[in-house]
Amino acid sequence: MQLRPPSVPLITVDPYFSVWSPADTLTDAVTVHWTGHPNTIVGTAEIDGTAYRFLGRWNARDDSPALTQTSRDCDALSTTCTFEGAGVCLKATFLTPLLMDDYDLLTRPVSYLRVEARSTDGIQRDVKVKIAVSEELCLNNRGDDEVDVTEYRLPSGIPAVKMGSKKQDVLHCSGDDIRIDWGYFHLAVEPGRTGCETVKVPFVPRHRRDEQPEDFREEMTFVWAETELRTGSGYRLFLFAYDDVYSIDYFGDKLKSWWNRNGKTIECAIDEAYKDYDAVTAKCKAFADKLFLDATKAGGEKYAEICEISYRQSIAAHKLAVDRDGQILWISKECFSNGCAATVDVSYPSIPLYLMYNPELVRGMMRPIYKYSRTDKWIFDFAPHDCGQFPLVRGQVYGANALQYQMPVEECGNMLVMAAAVAIADRETKFAEENLDLLEAWVKYLEAHGDDPENQLCTDDFAGHLAHNCNLSLKAVMGIAGLGVIYKMLGREADYEEMTAKAKKMAAGWAERAANGDGSYRLAFDRPGTWSMKYNIVWDKLMGTGVMDPGVLATEFASYKHHINAYGMPLDNRETYTKSDWLVWTATLAARRDDFEEFVAPLWKAYDCSLSRVPATDWYFTVTAQQRGFQHRTVVGGHLIKLLEYSGKMKGWK
């Protein structure tokens, strides 16, 4: 990978079990949770009696000896770095097997670190590798509670150690900038040994992550595992795991994930992970290689690298749970926004990734919304915004159900497009048919309010509320067209024709009222001379619904070249920031691949040189590449929309 990841992914399992390195080399910074709070892991290699760091720091002031990082490579599922020093080249490979066609692998909360060594001076050496993991991985903030530590052996005899808070108040809270403080972290190694130690480190204030450590010191508990290997003699394997006991509170039901739904223990899961490592690695490599090649064919190498860094970040912003009926729930966390769970306008931009590799996960996003919409607690005739705050899925929290804070056209359009797209992706209509009453009700809302939206909230309101929003109106057009798609797939030809005619009529009216007269189209119907990304209409191209005049799309896209800054096109004329997901959707409107590549190249550049060392932000300034807000959001799954188009999965439904 030529792209320098804004933050380097190491362990990417779910919104809680998350470890990243916010630096160019793994030894330059303390490893962190995606929120930026320390999740300290330190890796050392003892060579000829001297311990050298190759992973992380004990604290921000740590200047202990370190090997020199000589390479770094990331693909969709793994991160590999090599280090040299003291006559040894050490290779470390982190892998989390997030393969969406295998729920056991996708949900098994076990991540690997493979280490191997070779001599660089012809002298064989014994290398002792040690991994130490702090209590921060099982506490919201270190020191919040005492931790229990237990050394044990897996059923196969592999040494392991686990660590967890004493309180163990499972699913007791929700929030955005918080970490898990229930369940148990596990660390195993084979062959080797494990243990626990107390380390004194400078105290770092929690309320401001940019503050420097204070002079006084505090104690922190670490569990560790170590193994020995001889240069040139193969690899050793460390396994990181987290058992959260229960994953989601789903309208009062405490739900487990797929991997442990039938009572499997974490100890058995770790054992299985160890035994199938070689087979899993081969599957992951084959998948990652294919993703890169396909994405390169679709949009070029820079686009392919954007897809690579987006893949596991998007997945790791979700948790898969199984409801009491055995149905999949794919619950997102609205990371660094407000922590909402199952947010519709977060699911909508993320779906290209899941339509591409497992459409059932899109249904898993939609099930909570359908369920909540049928309860007495939801009093409106349009779709909800969310179903709770992660991990508590108990009903909408955004806006406290007050009408002025709702996003009616936005969420109705989102749900309808999602329903149509997922039906097309695997030609399955039963799910849509089961919820047709809600979809039809939401189309009625769009027919009444979507042609010229009133002053409603929408997902693009970063620069303030906006009435007569042209892009929001396009979402209504595609929502109505989406119901037509579903009717067609259900064999209801007359209803399909009626819905398609309504969408075409609305689109034609849109083109007249939104026109600037120079081939471009406005931000709002009542604001001549303005402009914005019209990303919502991309589904007309992908699904082949044909409701918008192709000439409108051609001249609108041609107008965008006048607004592109060093790091991309802004969202609209009001500010210089953009949204990366919408940028790639807008690029996908291009008729030629060269135009697509030219449009997304500044996004690659923004990630490559951004000083905001956080998991890829989707909201940044196009003049400076500086993060405006948001990080580690699932919406980066939307970056794969060009790959989805290239795959052809969205065609042929007629």
pLDDT at 339 exceeding the cut of 70: yes
Q: What is the pLDDT of residue 456?
A: 85
pLDDT-based confidence at residue 217 (cuts at 50, 70, 90): low
The structure tokens listed for 493 are: 């030809």
| Mean pLDDT for all residues in the chain | 95
Distances in Å between the Cα of 425 and the Cα atoms of 184, 265, 358 are 38, 35, 9
Task: Please determine, for residue 462, whether its predicted confidence score (pLDDT) is greater than 90.
Answer: no
Could you give the percent of the chain with pLDDT greater than 90? 92
Q: Check pLDDT > 50 for residue 209.
A: no
Asked if 597 contacts 295 with a C-beta cutoff of 8 angstroms, the reply is no
List the strands of the sheet with 193-202, edge to edge. 50-55, 41-47, 126-134, 217-230, 193-202
pLDDT of residue 128 exceeding 60, the answer is: yes
| Residues in contact with 309: Cβ distance below 8 Å, sequence separation at least 6, in sequence order | 3, 5, 6, 9, 74, 607, 616, 636
Mean pLDDT value of segment 438-467? 91
Distance CA 203, CA 206 (A): 9
**Euclidean distance between CA atoms 348 and 199, whole angstroms:** 45
Q: How does residue 213 score in pLDDT terms, banded at 50, 70 and 90?
A: very low
For residues 228-256, average pLDDT: 96
> What number of CA atoms fall less than 13 Å from residue 58's CA on the CB side?
20
Q: Letter for the amino acid at 403?
A: L
Architecture of domain 8-275: Distorted Sandwich (2.70)
Does residue 205 surpass a pLDDT of 70?
no
Rg of the chain taking only CA atoms, in angstroms: 25
Contact at 8 Å (CB) between 509 and 501?
A: no
Mean pLDDT in residue range 96-110: 98
What's CA 381's distance to the chain center, in Å?
30
Cα of first residue to Cα of last residue in the chain, in angstroms, is: 39
Tallying the residues shown for the chain, one arrives at: 654
Written as one letter, the residue type at 540 is D
Matching residue, tokens 């055995």: 326
> What is the residue whose two structure tokens read 């979402």?
475
Those residues with Cβ within 8 angstroms of residue 81's Cβ, 6 or more apart along the chain or in another chain: 25, 26, 54, 69, 71, 72, 73, 91, 92
Q: What is the dihedral of CA 512, 515, 517, 518, to 10 degrees?
A: -130
Cα-based torsion angle of the residue sequence 293, 298, 299, 301 in order, rounded to the nearest 10 degrees: 10
Q: What is the mean predicted confidence (pLDDT) over 35-43?
A: 96
212 pLDDT exceeds 70? no
pLDDT at 463: 76
| DSSP codes, 521-560 | B-SBTT-TT--B--GGGHHHHHHT---S-HHHHHHHHHHG
**Domain residues of the chain, as ranges?**
8-275, 340-647
Rounded to an integer, the average pLDDT of 72-83 is: 98
Residues near 277 by Cβ (< 8 Å), separated by ≥ 6? Answer: 112, 114, 237
pLDDT band at 530; cut points 50, 70, 90: very high
pTM score, whole prediction: 0.96
What is the structure's pLDDT at 459? 81
Q: Which pLDDT value is given to residue 281?
A: 98
Cα 45 to chain centroid, rounded:
32
Given this structure, which CATH class describes domain 340-647?
mainly alpha
- What average pLDDT does the segment 245-249 reach? 97
CA dihedral 649, 650, 653, 654 (to 10 degrees): -130
| Residue closest to 84 by CA, chosen among 69, 71, 64 | 69
Beta bridge partners of 130: 44, 226
Band of residue 154 on the pLDDT scale cut at 50, 70, 90: very high
Determine contact, residues 420/486, Cβ cutoff 8 Å: yes
Classify residue 259 by its DSSP letter: T
DSSP summary character for residue 451: S
What values do phi and psi take at 252, rounded to 5?
100, -15
Residue 105: pLDDT band with limits 50, 70, 90: very high
Confidence of residue 206 (pLDDT cuts 50, 70, 90): very low
Question: Does the pLDDT value for residue 243 go beyond 80?
Answer: yes
- Is residue 257 within 8 A of residue 107, CB to CB? The reply is yes
User: Do 340-647 and 8-275 have the same topology in CATH?
Assistant: no
Helices (H), 256-343: 266-275, 277-299, 301-315
pLDDT in tens, 257-284: 999 999 999 999 999 999 999 999 999 9
Which of 539, 541, 420 has the alpha carbon at shortest distance from 488? 420
Give the phi and the psi of residue 340 in degrees, each rounded to 5. Answer: -60, 155
Q: What was the pLDDT predicted at 368?
A: 98
Task: Give the integer Cα–Cα distance in Å for 583 and 640.
Answer: 12
Per-residue pLDDT band for 199 (boundaries 50, 70, 90) equals confident
Angle at 175 between CA 142 and CA 341, to 5 degrees: 135
CB 637 within 8 A of CB 361: no
Geometric angle at alpha carbon 296, from 540 and 623, rounded to 5°: 75
Given pLDDT bands bounded at 50, 70 and 90, which one contains residue 61? confident
Q: What is the mean pLDDT of residues 512-519?
A: 98
Instruction: Work out the angle at residue 108's Cα, subtended by the Cα atoms of residues 105 and 109, and round it to the nearest 5 degrees.
Output: 135
Model pLDDT for residues 297-308, shown as the tens digit of each residue: 999 999 999 999
